[in-house]
Amino acid sequence: KNFPPGPRNWPLVGTLPVMIGQPGDNHPFNPLDRLRQKHGNLVGLFLGIQPAVLVSGYENVKEISAREDFTYRPDITVVQHKMFHYEKSGLFFVDGEKWKTQRRFTLRHLRDFGFGKQSMDHYIHSEIDILFAVFRDLMAKHPEQKETGHDFLKVLPAVAINTLWYIIAGEIHGLENEHFIRLTRLVLKFFRLGDQTSPVPIYRLLQHIPFINNNFKQQEKCGEEIMTFIQEAVVRHVDTFNENDMRDFMDVYIREMKKDSDGSFSENQLISICMDLFLAGTETTASTTTFTLRYLIKYPEIQEKVRNEIYQVVGKDRLPSTEDMPNLHYCMAVLTESMRHSGVTPSTPPKSTVKDVNFQGYNIPKGCMMIVNLRSVNMDEKHLGDPETFRPERFIGPDGKFRKDEKLMLFGSGTRICLGEPFAKNTTFIFYTSIVQNFKLEAAPYGPKPSEVILDGFTTAPEPFKMTMTALN
Ligand code: HEM
């Protein structure tokens, strides 16, 4: 009663028939865009019989994100919960005091190992050296592909994984390591198989129905393999643990497990946290960097402007670092515009309520899923004027300096705001500016132009594309 208005709620399938894409859509979120246009900023939906509300618009999203009532996550089967007998674990899908304690601990101790700090730069730079060696190797081994394009960016996710994994588990994997290459593929596949508005993770019954459970089953398989990789690293850490030598985040967590008397710091919880960080942190940063490079190929004049600023501020003899960020105004504007326009996270992971709640005069029943529409904020026509246009200058103030737009939500907002924001900003910034400093990027003269397709999943991602690179230094 007094639930937000929405499309027709059919028996069993609820509103799902109007939540699927149509021919001509250019973004996975188009069906939800249409619902918002038709029904307004709060749309009542049903994923099967599960009530859900699509929440759009800056004010609504800000309020939902700030209110304690909505900090909960719905009961969704994720691979680690299933493996741990449906006990909620990790960071993303835990609630209340458990979430607060684990989030605080994780953030504090990741920072001790350089997470989101300048002290990480040297490590990011050494990963970039490896990346550049791969680029040069590809060009030397297959010079003929300069005409049709190299698949340069396929190694980027592996580099992103290494950067994060070093802090979590103190390990670096060679890009030629077969096991590691497989892991990288699994992470990407895991994300593409996801679907934020699928009822399958909510209903255990649907998880057993062939065809309907197709994506879910495949995703579960990928997730299990990724979990095994993490579990093995945890076991190695437990076996070699030395109280006097904290090598990485896993060690610090194990030390806490030994001190902890109520069991809230457990091995399962450590595995789940690492899984959450690993998944949340690697695909998102790799996709953001790839989207940015895709825009720079499409707009060569912007690429040139980025390069000129880097040459002026940083020069050619060293790679850009986080210390340069406050002086690279245009580069910051380009990254921000790329994140806004591409929208790797068009919505937050679903939120939920644990009691009946009133929101904007509507009744939101206990257990209702809240689909928080960040895209509606980052593509807000009233605020931005021309949201569909890629225009980094919108973030340059009259003084020529980068101007932060407080009305954007690139990493969510409020209590659950992305835990990895500083790390993600630093790594994507250094990755993309270093590439542009050292290589000219172009569409291959005889190959297809980089695809403009945006892939669906838990996040959105650019469709892989080929390009030509010319070394500049
Ligand atoms: C460009 C890269 C990234 C983007 C666009 C992004 C975006 C987001 C968004 C929109 C949320 C949801 C916030 C909410 O529920 O209100 C989120 C949550 C989260 N992100 Fe990120 N993220 C990125 C990178 C990272 C990295 C590098 C890490 C960690 C290594 C990370 C860890 C997390 C975690 C743990 C949460 C859940 C927080 C919680 O529920 O308390 N993310 N992220």
> Which atom of ligand 1 is nearest to 349's Cα?
15
Q: For the chain, what are the domain ranges?
A: 16-471
- pLDDT, one tens digit for every residue, the chain (473 residues): 899 999 999 999 999 999 999 999 989 999 999 999 999 999 999 999 999 999 999 999 999 999 999 999 998 887 777 777 778 889 998 999 999 999 999 999 999 998 889 989 999 999 999 999 999 999 999 988 888 899 888 889 999 999 999 999 998 888 888 888 888 999 999 999 988 888 888 888 888 899 888 999 999 999 999 999 999 999 999 999 999 999 999 999 999 999 987 888 999 999 999 999 989 889 999 999 999 999 999 999 999 999 999 999 999 999 999 999 999 999 999 999 999 999 999 999 999 998 999 999 999 999 999 999 999 999 999 999 999 999 999 999 999 999 999 999 999 999 999 999 999 999 999 999 999 999 999 999 988 889 999 999 999 999 999 999 999 97
Question: Is 343's C-beta closer than 6 angstroms to any atom of ligand 1?
Answer: no
Question: Is 251's C-beta closer than 6 angstroms to any atom of ligand 1?
Answer: no
Distance from C-alpha of 233 to C-alpha of 228, rounded to nearest angstrom: 9
Cα-to-centroid distance, 392 and ligand 1 (Å) = 23
Closest residue to atom 43 of ligand 1, CA basis: 418
Q: What is the ipTM of this complex?
A: 0.99
**Of 147, 124, 150, the residue nearest 136 (C-alpha):** 150
**What dotted CATH number matches 16-471?**
1.10.630.10
Q: Are 321 and 359 in contact (CB under 8 A)?
A: no
> Which atom of ligand 1 is nearest to 427's Cα?
27
Residue 47 phi, psi (nearest 5): -90, 90
The half-sphere exposure of 262 on its side-chain side, counting CA atoms within 13 A, is 3
Task: Spell out a b/e string for 323-349, using b for 16 or more CB atoms within 10 Å of the CB, else e.
Answer: ebbeebbbbbbbbbbbbbbbbbbbbbb
